Amino acid sequence: MLGFCLNCSQNISDEILSLTLSDRRKGLSGTWHLIECEHCGVISMSPMPTDEELAAYYSAYSKDNKVDLTRRAGAHYPKLRKLFHQLSGDVDPRDFINIPPGARVLDYGCGQAGYLADFHDQGIAITGAEISAHLVEACRSNGLNVQKVNDFSHIPFQDQSFDIVYLMQVFEHLRDPHGFMRELARILKTDGLLYLALPNTASFWRKVFGRHWLSGWFPPYHLFLYDRPSLEKIANLHGFELVKSWSSTPESWFRLNLKAYFYPRENNLEGYRTWLDTPPLRLILIILLRLIELPLPERDCLVIQLKKKGG
């Protein structure tokens, strides 16, 4: 027996996937083991980190982060931003979430509030939720409504508070996907919409890059990894139905995987600049990536839109 799946509560006995990896993105010392469940298809860390270990990991993750709430050019030129993202493959909720007048929106895991600030400036009733105290303080000091998350298992809002909730690269960081999906159902109104964006284990690029697929493998921060069927199954169990899904590969993700492949001894790749980061090479990569991916049904970043069912 390889382990126990915390997603579906089944023993894992068949070696579909068994990987021991280090953190090559931030350079955190240590190694972590990943296994794939033969029953639900979800990939998870084994053993799962404790709350104390996760707190230590995230403290190291954010220690050098500087808060910059400057409005970017994309906030001022939305049509150009959307066109650029179609080329670059970036997944930006401002490009695909249509917010009706009067709707209440939650950006869970808002980080430095780039999306939230833009929606706020448009007059949308949007709230953020973030675990980092210094980010919460910075957002509030800039007039943004952001609540502090003190408990990963509880979203700090009342029942049926929101019409739309989105999580951009957050769900894979959560150690209790079922408990959190229940919380999302609790705070959403009936027929409310939930958007999740996260790494896609069915991606063609996972097969190409293998151990160097750093856009997906990010131990010890990515605790669970999903494809569309496994994520839809969790959502269905907690009162959601699939509206639609799609996938895209951001050029920055593809470039990170290339750097992992070309520089196998480098363990702090997010801060490691190479010839791949020069503007001419990035433009070439964008063009090549878009052409290569034209026939591909499964790309690196999965986006899924769900609706909370009535009753």
Kindly give the pairing relationship between strand 3-4 and strand 146-148: unpaired
Between the CA of residue 214 and those of 16, 32, 80, 255, 264, what are the distances in Å?
A: 19, 14, 29, 10, 11
Tens-level pLDDT at each residue, the chain (311 residues): 567 788 888 888 776 888 999 999 999 999 999 999 988 999 999 889 988 888 888 877 765 566 677 777 777 789 999 999 999 999 999 999 999 999 999 999 998 888 999 999 999 999 999 988 888 998 999 999 999 998 878 999 999 999 999 999 999 999 999 999 999 999 999 999 999 999 999 999 999 999 999 999 999 999 999 999 999 999 999 999 999 999 999 999 999 999 999 999 999 999 899 999 999 999 999 999 999 999 999 999 999 999 999 86
pLDDT at 311: 63
**pLDDT score, position 229:** 96
Distance CA 151, CA 158 (A): 15
What is the pLDDT, as a whole number, of residue 90?
97
Query: Which of 39, 29, 51, 31 minimizes the C-alpha distance to 2?
Result: 39
Per-residue pLDDT at 66: 67
**β-sheet with 31-36: strand ranges across:** 18-22, 31-36, 43-45, 224-225
Per-residue model confidence (pLDDT) at position 43? 95
- Delimit the domains of the chain by residue range: 3-308
DSSP state of 41: -
Q: What is the pLDDT of residue 300?
A: 98
| Distance between CA atoms of residues 219 and 230, nearest Å | 20
Report the alpha-carbon angle 124-112-82, nearest 5: 60
* CATH superfamily of domain region 3-308: Vaccinia Virus protein VP39 (3.40.50.150)
